[in-house]
Amino acid sequence: MSSPVRVAVTGAAGQIGYALLFRIASGQMFGPDTPVELRLLEVPPALGALEGVAMELDDAAFPLLAGIELSDQAETAFAGVNVACLVGAKPRGPGMERADLLKDNGKIFTGQGAALASAGASDLKVAVVGNPANTNALIAAANAEGLPAERFTAMVRLDENRAKSQLAKKAGVPVAEVTNLAVWGNHSPTMVPDFDNARIGGRPATEVITDREWLEGEFLTTVQQRGKAIIDARGASSAASAASALVDHVANWCGGKPTADGDWVSMAIPSDGSYGVPEGLISGFPVTTDGNGTYEIVQGLELSDFAQQKLQASVDELQQERDAVADML
């Protein structure tokens, strides 16, 4: 057994929190040999509900769960944490875009960024889920003085998983056969699920699914609009699938599960200028990971004119979001 990983989850009494905590505590994020200590942050009115969740975590008798602490103070919850999952934020309702949440949710991330910098462990890593996730991660990083920006990531893994599932269905193959699927840009309707570089059963996806009209049309729109489709159908935004994608995101990044040889995963990370994405913007990229805290952008991929145009629109949107929160950066 290794020493415990201390994991903070914000918004822990919310929908995603309820699905996420049991996955973390059961060992799915950090593997079967790593105990976890949970540090759960909520707003004061939700602390009662959070106590109920903690009681249920106790009742599950997870062998790897080494402790649970609840707090409504960011500095307390983040003390010594190695990994922070920033989920706590308002979800959008019907008729809203994720960017509509920016002003309300953005301010959560100024204080939490600062608290992470002052209280987190020296190897702290941060994954932002609360929407609009890319720009919230930018805000948190900008307010975390002394912490390298590359420790701040946002989740586009749900979009990757959604895209893989759509391609697998169309090709009539198990989803595990779809690999090398990157989602570029913003976690918003401008996101770019990259079918040109994806593979199905080891072959280029575009050789297996030759209907380019479907790829550029129905496939793209289905993935881009999946969050809305779920809100419309469920009356609430995706929760269990989001928690599952976060488990995937963190497990690959620092949970001992490196990307498979030749494959990559999607993470929104601060751009180093690769592929023309302006430096500093937090954008989805294909990355390889070592499972131990390091990721690298996959270089040398070709983007079609279609994909480049779409990526530019997503980058423009990220820049507009950044401009809208300039006072928080």
Which residues make up the interface to ligand LMR (CB under 6 A)? 91-92, 98, 131, 158, 227, 230, 237-238
Query: Is 112 flagged in the annotation as binding?
Result: yes
Residue 198 and residue 203: Cα distance in Å, rounded?
8
Residue 265 C-beta: closest distance to ligand NAD, Å = 14
Q: Which two tokens stand for residue 259?
A: 């990307």
Query: Is 16 flagged in the annotation as binding?
Result: yes
Task: Tell me, residue by residue from 279 to 298, as one string, x for binding to ligand NAD by CB under 6 A and - for no binding.
Answer: --------------------
Binding-site partner at residue 230 among ligand NAD, ligand LMR, none, CB < 5 to 8 Å by type: ligand LMR
Q: Can residue 54 be called a binding residue for ligand NAD (CB under 6 A)? A: no
Query: Is 98 flagged in the annotation as binding?
Result: yes
Q: Can residue 38 be called a binding residue for ligand NAD (CB under 6 A)? A: no
Q: Which two tokens stand for residue 22?
A: 């049991």
Residue 248 and residue 28: Cα distance in Å, rounded?
9
Residue 231 C-beta: closest distance to ligand LMR, Å = 6
Binding-site partner at residue 301 among ligand NAD, ligand LMR, none, CB < 5 to 8 Å by type: none
Residue 84 C-beta: closest distance to ligand NAD, Å = 11
Q: 132-165: b or e for each residue (b if 16 or more CB lie within 10 Å)?
A: bbbbbbbbbbbbbeebebebbbbbbbbbbbbbbb
Q: What is the DSSP letter of 49?
A: H
249 is catalytic: no
Residue 314 and residue 100: Cα distance in Å, rounded?
16
Query: Is 31 flagged in the annotation as binding?
Result: no
Choose the catalytic residue: 187, 199, 249, 310.
Answer: 187
Residue 159 C-beta: closest distance to ligand NAD, Å = 7
Residue 260 and residue 155: Cα distance in Å, rounded?
19
- Residue whose pair of structure tokens reads 């079609």 in the numeric block: 304
Pick 268 or 301: Cβ nearer ligand NAD: 268
Considering only residues 178 through 207, tell me which ones interact with ligand NAD, judged by CB under 6 A: 187
Binding-site partner at residue 8 among ligand LMR, ligand NAD, none, CB < 5 to 8 Å by type: none
Residue 131 C-beta: closest distance to ligand LMR, Å = 5
Strand order in 178-179's β-sheet? Answer: 178-179, 199-200, 203-204
Query: Is 92 flagged in the annotation as binding?
Result: yes
Residue nearest to ligand NAD (CB): 14
Strands (E) in the chain, as ranges, are 5-10, 36-41, 65-71, 83-86, 125-128, 152-154, 178-179, 182-184, 192-194, 199-200, 203-204, 265-270, 282-289, 295-297
Residue 81 and residue 39: Cα distance in Å, rounded?
8
Q: Can residue 158 be called a binding residue for ligand NAD (CB under 6 A)? A: yes
Long-range contacts of range 232-237, CB-CB < 8 Å, 24 or more positions apart?
Answer: 232/94, 236/15, 236/91, 237/15, 237/91, 237/92
Report which residue type is found at 9: V
Pick 102 or 297: Cβ nearer ligand NAD: 102
Q: Can residue 260 be called a binding residue for ligand NAD (CB under 6 A)? A: no
Pick 27 or 91: Cβ nearer ligand LMR: 91
- 70 neighbors 38 (Cβ within 8 angstroms): no
- Residue whose pair of structure tokens reads 């049991």 in the numeric block: 22
- Residue whose pair of structure tokens reads 């507009």 in the numeric block: 320
Residue 328 C-beta: closest distance to ligand LMR, Å = 20
Residue nearest to ligand LMR (CB): 227
Annotated binding site for NAD(+): 11-17, 105, 112, 129-131
Instruction: Provide the annotated binding site.
Output: 11-17, 92, 98, 105, 112, 129-131, 162
Active site residues: 187
The residues binding ligand NAD (CB under 6 A) are 10-11, 13-17, 41-43, 46, 87-92, 108, 129-131, 133, 155, 158, 187, 237-239, 242
